[in-house]
Amino acid sequence: LLFFNRCHITTLFENDRHFSHLSTLEREMAFRTEMGLYYSYFKIIIEAPSFWNGVRAIMNDRLTEYPLVINTLQRFNLYPEVVLASWYRIYTAIMDFLGVATKTCWTVNRGKGLSPVESCEGLGDPASFYVAVIFLLNGLMMSLFFIYGTYLSGSRLGGLITVVCFFFNHGECTRVMWTPPLRESFSYPFLVLQMLLLTYILRIPNINTGSLIALCVSNIFFMLPWQFAQFVLLTQIASLFAVCIMGYIDSCKLQKILSAHMVSLIVCFILMFGNSMLLTSYYAASLVVIWGILELSPKVLKSSRREVYLWVIEGCAWLFGTVTLKYLTSLAFGIADDAHIGNILKSKFIGYKDFDTLMYTCAAEFDFMEKETPVRYTKTLLLPVVLVVFGVIIKRVKMKSMQILCFCVVFFFFFQLVYHALQLLAYSVLAILIMRLKLFLTPHLCVMASLVCSKQLFGWLFCKIQPKTLVFAILALMAIEGSANLQTQWNIMGEFSNLPQEELLEWIKVNTRQDAVFAGAMPTMASVKLSTLRPIVNHPHYEDAGLRARTKVVYSMYSRKPAKEVKRELIKLGVNYYILEESLCVSRKKPGCSMPEIWDVEDPANSGKIPLCTLMSKDSRPYFITVFENSNYRVLKIPKE
């Protein structure tokens, strides 16, 4: 499974970009937006005189948010790049010592009057090594899914169904084959491991120390690479708390699980050099509040925990306590870095709008789930199968609850299913609100589908029909649409090329000083930093209040403000060159989502005027000087006043 999934995603990636035949510059350009930003730190470490020199360079970074010096390990979840860079340096050092060639290079003739480029293939090429390790990790994840499905259902057939469902719904489960350097590519495999360990802990009567340590370590490996991991873990502990207040697991077991979460959170806080977003998160607040409720509830609420009004009281106490504690800790630490998360949620429910919120919600991945998504789930029979499983779980747990009341016997198997069902609901809510979070819902649907093989749930049916017969009949029906989905993926053929950006980057390297400071659209800035090593003032990692304020200043070029005012603010940031993209001035993903329209929400006083970017495209004088221009980009030099 490891080998098969690795080959599958490697093939899709190669088919889409012809990555093996790209030059070094083209490979770097293929890592768009934040992918290029993350990869740039890997590049810095491997090109430094020594590994530790490289680490010190990214911990005292002067290029990413000029003129600030920032610790990027604290800000950007870059431990994957640090680890991969160390492995790359060790690998190349050993191969060089042994005299073994690590890459093969050749000249690629690109035709159409373009200059030939050198392309290298093999693990000695940095980009190829970087991508290969990511695909290997995600290949390993498929083996974990098989084990997870097998353990949850109690049958290897369950593991088979999980894996097959994943492949049949591959485009809904992951995007690692299109965007390897994203944080989820490093982080999500460890969430699968973490949930497998949690399932084991919920199933056993007595928790041993080893399992708690393993849970803690998997939490750390999940949280360290990805800033959004805390929100997923928030849904997990909320689901566990709901299971607890319904009486399906005892508070002592939940407190042990919470202790593992707390330790892992503290370790991540230390390893990320005191990243305050971790301690002021809803996740951290929720851990403290749930622990307090578990301690106080037996003393304050004397009645049986099974009474519905007590569930409501404890649930409301958790919600109110979490929001209040989160607000107070953010206020105490002066942190507003994750304030945009609350605004995004407000935009979903009450139509709230501001500049930062629209920068997210205008992107398709942050929109509501597409209506076609449940249809695609249904066509592969994934959704119908899971709905049947979900219904049977509800019915069986009710029956077992009655037996518990009568005989005081804990049926751990059924109660772990309550957690998985609640977790499925939580993932469904996340995915419906933010389409990008299908990443969590679809794989969990695949895992839940494995329960169709569970004797505890469907033993009554297996008395009438052989489990293998039922499973292979389901898989055969799934394969009708699933095989078509796979064929569609395999038929995607492309070749990466971005000549306008290549011209831009080559011009920058030849015609500007090494310390020339650039500003522009976030995706382009990541490429400028990666390929030219010029200082930039803004970048695509938007989860910082200060960076969001800088980006708003930079994007004022696409507003209707006066050119003199925009120039003055850019000079304050120390910008020497501005890269203007006319496409951003006119493109409109949906109504209200062109850059001038977004600025009309933020700056209604200038609404109705001609956008500044339109004026600059015609004539940049007298406030700016056009020094480079092609079909996509215009470089404006900012003369000092």
Res. 89: pLDDT tops 70: yes
- State the DSSP string of 350-379: H----HHHHHHHTSGGGSPPPTHHHHHHHH
With a CB cutoff of 8 Å and minimum separation 6, the contacts of 605 are none
Average pLDDT, stretch 408-414?
A: 51
Res. 378: pLDDT tops 90: yes
Encode 475-542 in three state secondary structure.
HHHHHHHHHHHHHHHHCCCCCCCCHHHHHHHHHHHHHCCCCCCEEECHHHHHHHHHHHCCCECCCCCC
Task: Give the C-alpha separation, 18 to 4, whole Å.
Answer: 20
Task: Give the C-alpha separation, 598 to 602, whole Å.
Answer: 7
Q: For 500-514, how does the pLDDT look when each residue is reduced to its tens digit (9 = 90+)?
A: 999 999 999 999 999
Task: Give the C-alpha separation, 549 to 536, whole Å.
Answer: 15
Confidence at residue 402, expressed as pLDDT on a 0 to 100 scale: 47
Average pLDDT, stretch 41-60?
A: 96
More confident residue, 77 or 114: 77
Q: For 65-82, how does the pLDDT look when each residue is reduced to its tens digit (9 = 90+)?
A: 999 999 999 999 999 999
In degrees, rounded to 5, the angle at the alpha carbon of residue 377 between the alpha carbons of residues 9 and 396 is 115
Under 8 Å between Cβ of 69 and 55: no
Write the CA distances from 591 to 166, 358, 598, 627, integer angstroms.
35, 11, 10, 33
Res. 316: pLDDT tops 50: yes
State the chain's mean pLDDT as an integer: 90
Under 8 Å between Cβ of 212 and 260: yes
Under 8 Å between Cβ of 91 and 102: yes
**Start-end of H helices in 380-411:** 382-407
Under 8 Å between Cβ of 600 and 607: yes
DSSP single-letter state for residue 67 = T
Res. 114: pLDDT tops 80: no
More confident residue, 400 or 215: 215
> pLDDT category, 303, cuts 50, 70, 90?
low
Task: Give the C-alpha separation, 157 to 9, whole Å.
Answer: 24
> pLDDT category, 401, cuts 50, 70, 90?
low
Q: For 574-631, how does the pLDDT look when each residue is reduced to its tens digit (9 = 90+)?
A: 999 999 998 888 887 788 888 999 999 988 988 889 999 999 988 888 899 999 999 8
Res. 439: pLDDT tops 60: yes
> pLDDT category, 445, cuts 50, 70, 90?
very high
Q: For 534-553, how does the pLDDT look when each residue is reduced to its tens digit (9 = 90+)?
A: 999 999 988 888 898 999 99
